[in-house]
Structure 1
Amino acid sequence: TLLGRREVKHFAYLKNDDEIRAVLMAIKEYFGDLRVKVCAVFQLYTAVRGQNARNAKWSQIDFENCVWHIPASEMKTAKPHDVFLSQSVITLLKTYRERLPLQSELIFPSIKSNVAPLSDNTIRIMLRNLGFNKDMVTPHGFRATFSTIANENIDKHGCNSDVIELCLAHIESNKVKEAYNHAKNLKARAKLMQWWSDYLDSLGGFA
């Protein structure tokens, strides 16, 4: 079995179409810093841990193959992790890069310094300013939102729970199964992340 599923219970998260749509639309209309808005959306679309989104570097993004390569040194699991980026996310990043006047290796540099990443608190504060309290959603809760919606819609995207867990970079306790999954489920993970992106786009995302 895969470890780490309890995390869903620890953080407030968005549970249905209406809640997700409300957050997406609020972020879209937010008048605050562009870095904070885009980082929050990027985190929701990729379902990565907040620290990975905030520490993402331009050099890690393979725009041609639509993959974000996160090195092992930045992963909680201490293993490299590839995140498949939909065309919506690629377009979002390209448009954002053109509008960002700062030069930084970081995609989301801090508002105070272009060599430090945004703080987790920055995104949390934005959500609070938009009227979503900590009992409604937290930045980390975006992962639980992805997990919940993906598991509820297995009949639509056709990917099993193991693929969902792999997209979340949860650790597989069975080493043989882990190796098998890594080899066999790369295309399935890409398929699932594309489905997730299309789903968010349909709710008024940033396509």
Structure 2
Amino acid sequence: MGYSGGPLKNAKEHTIYLSEFAKLHLEALLGLSDDEVWLFPAARKDGPVSSKSITKQIYDRQGAANGTPFMHRSEHIDALTLPGGRWTPHDLRRTGATLMGELGVHGDVIEKCLNHLEQNKIKRTYQQVHYPVSGDRLPSIQTLKKTSA
């Protein structure tokens, strides 16, 4: 499954290899969507909902300060509350990267999963390592899959 939306931060296409488990659940979520393409379609235009809107929706479901839902917003104010406090979508990226590192996944593979560019321009130019991928066999995903089974 590859990213097919607008330009990414580093202007490079990013292919995401999914396990069968992930595919199954994403397809189920897509079945709940009113859109044939987007899991989270925008309400007022074609295409996906904006990342800022997703962050706001998550924030709204992590407990209102006074215990009352915001006007014209979700009534499920505690649906995403966690004991450690508020979290953001970016925290999920950091958590995934941390878990991969703890499982011994090579740092370069983690950076590829996050679609980060190598910061060292010389290294980026001369060390163009491409890790072999076969279907959904990306090493980091396979390692995570084994530990969660």
Same fold (TM over 0.5): yes
What corresponds to 1:19 in structure 2?
Answer: none
Letter of the 1:124 partner, please give it: Y
**Cα distance in 1 between the residues matched to 2:23 and 2:41:** 18
1:46 matched to which residue of 2?
Answer: none
Match of 2:35 among 103, 109, 125: 103
Distance across 2 between alignment mates of 1:81 and 1:99: 25
Bigger relative contact order, structure 1 or 2 (CA pairs below 8 A, ≥6 apart): 1
Instruction: Read off the aligned partner of 1:150 and give its amino acid letter.
Output: M
Structure with a larger share of its residues in helix: 1
1:117 aligned to 2:48?
yes
**Structure 1 unaligned residues grouped into runs of 5+:** 1-67, 203-207
1:87 equivalent in alignment to 2:35: no
1:1-207 residue pairs with structure 2 within 5 A? 68-71=1-4, 73-100=6-33, 102-110=34-42, 112-113=43-44, 115-118=46-49, 119-120=53-54, 121-128=56-63, 129=78, 130-132=80-82, 135-154=85-104, 159-172=105-118, 173=120, 174=123, 175-177=125-127, 179-180=128-129, 183-186=130-133, 190-199=138-147, 201-202=148-149
TM-score normalized by the length of structure 2: 0.67
Residue 193 of structure 1: how far off its partner (Å):
1.6
Q: What does residue 5 of structure 1 align with?
A: none
After superposition, the Cα gap between the structure-2 partners of 1:99 and 1:72, relative to the gap in structure 1 and judged at 3 Å, is closer
What's the offset of the Cα at 1:103? 3.1
TM-score, with structure 1 as normaliser: 0.50
What is the identity, as a one-letter code, of the residue corresponding to 2:141?
Answer: M
User: Per the alignment, do residues 77 and 194 of structure 1 end up closer, same or farther by CA in structure 2, a change over 3 Å counting?
Assistant: same
When residues 116 and 80 of structure 1 are mapped into structure 2, their CA distance, relative to the original with a 3 A threshold, is: closer
Q: Which runs of 5+ in 2 are unaligned?
A: 64-77
What is the rounded CA distance, in whole Å, between the counterparts of 1:79 and 1:72 in structure 2? 12
The letter for the 2-side match of 1:145 is T
CA RMSD of aligned residues (A): 2.9
More strand by share: 1
Seq. identity, %: 24
Q: Which has the larger radius of gyration?
A: 2
Q: What is the aligned length?
A: 125
Contact 2:3/2:15 (<8 A) preserved: yes
